[in-house]
Amino acid sequence: MKNLILAIESSCDDSSIAIINKDNFKCIFYKKISQEKEHCKYGGVVPELAARLHNAALPNILEQCKIYFDRLCAIAVTNEPGLSVSLINGITMAKILSLSLNIPLIAINHLKGHIYSLFLEQELLLDMGILLVSGGHTMVINLDKNKNLNIIARTCDDSFGESFDKVAKMMNLSYPGGVEIENLAKKAVHKNLNFSVPMLHSKDLNYSFSGLKNQVRLEILKYKNLDEGIKAEIAYAFENAACLHILDKLEKIFKKYSFKFFGIVGGASANLNLRSQVEKLCEKYNTKLYLAPLAYCSDNALMIARAAIDAYKNKDFVNIEQEILSPKSLNFSKI
């Protein structure tokens, strides 16, 4: 029976392939090869290097999927947004598979993929607010009862995850900075350093992390020797202000919109401080909170495969001659 969908994700620095059963959402195969170690020495993702590493990793993973080829009914791939040189690796592989196995091709928007990380083994829920916090994006999205996706708020500059990466870099911590900062913050003792929360008194619902990043930069400049103790205090104060900024705007959004459900997705949604604060906010507003499983917060092909099930049901296929690469697109109006 041909009821499996193979999905490829290569939008940034993770090479991942998943196979899902479209009838019961069960994951049949999943693998992700992260390139973090290779990019770490440069303090961020180097697109050219990412592309070369995808080129080596994806065929390696695909080799392990061959036993399922005769049960595949479609191929899905992340086509936007992301690094073009990375996306193109997955897209080329997906097109070749679709052509050679003579099965439909499905293009999935990466951000929609993150939203589906809330529904890996279940049907989609509607009337939901979603906080998407990753390295590339920070936004609050309304998934309404008619499956429309409306962006309610977004960052004007850096994303939440990116600000962690940049602050980590300023303190010579390794990349990606999110986990580094979170772990370091736990070691803070005095907790008497305070950074001001951005745009606290503004009615604007959008985010901005560049000013906070600058506050950290100016604080670092005060020290000749940035020892572990000082770094921990800075990490704690920064994480606190960054989470409070997310929370402040979210509370304003909760007052304006009433969601039946709320979800947090994206790599930075692994931040436990952020999770617990949003949890409290949802309790206060009597909104049921959904969290992406920790293992599938960051980029992965399983969320793409799950999104592809709904696309398959809607016969939302693309032609292999079609140019689907769209690195900057937020093709986002419907789920």
Which residues of the shown chain bind ligand KG4 in the complex (CB under 6 A)?
A: 12, 134-136, 161-162, 164-165, 176-179, 182, 266-268, 270-271, 298-299
271 touches which of Zn ion, ligand KG4, none (CB within 5 to 8 A by kind)?
ligand KG4
Instruction: Give the shortest CB-295-to-ligand KG4 separation in angstroms.
Output: 12
Q: Which two structure tokens, joined as six digits, stand for 130?
A: 């979603």
271 close to 235: Cβ distance less than 8 angstroms = no
Q: Does 299 appear as a known binding residue?
A: yes
Comparing CA positions, the residue from 26, 23, 14 lying closest to residue 50 is 14
The span from the CA of 300 to the CA of 319, in Å, is 24
- Element containing residue 266 per DSSP (H, E): none
Nearer to ligand KG4, 290 or 312 (CB): 290
Q: Does 134 appear as a known binding residue?
A: yes
DSSP state of 28: E
268 touches which of Zn ion, ligand KG4, none (CB within 5 to 8 A by kind)?
ligand KG4
Q: Please, is 181 exposed, middle or buried when counting C-beta atoms within 10 Å of its C-beta (0-12, 13-18, 19+)? A: buried
Nearer to Zn ion, 86 or 134 (CB): 134
30 bridge partner residues = 18
Q: Please, is 117 exposed, middle or buried when counting C-beta atoms within 10 Å of its C-beta (0-12, 13-18, 19+)? A: buried
The span from the CA of 226 to the CA of 248, in Å, is 30
Q: Does 271 appear as a known binding residue?
A: yes
Instruction: Give the shortest CB-183-to-ligand KG4 separation in angstroms.
Output: 8
Radius of gyration of the chain (CA): 20
Nearer to ligand KG4, 12 or 103 (CB): 12
Instruction: Give the shortest CB-162-to-ligand KG4 separation in angstroms.
Output: 6
270 touches which of ligand KG4, Zn ion, none (CB within 5 to 8 A by kind)?
ligand KG4
Q: Which two structure tokens, joined as six digits, stand for 170?
A: 């300023």
Q: Does 229 appear as a known binding residue?
A: no
Nearer to Zn ion, 43 or 82 (CB): 82
Residue positions in the annotated binding site for substrate?
132-136, 165, 178, 182, 271
Residue positions in the annotated binding site?
110, 114, 132-136, 165, 178, 182, 271, 299
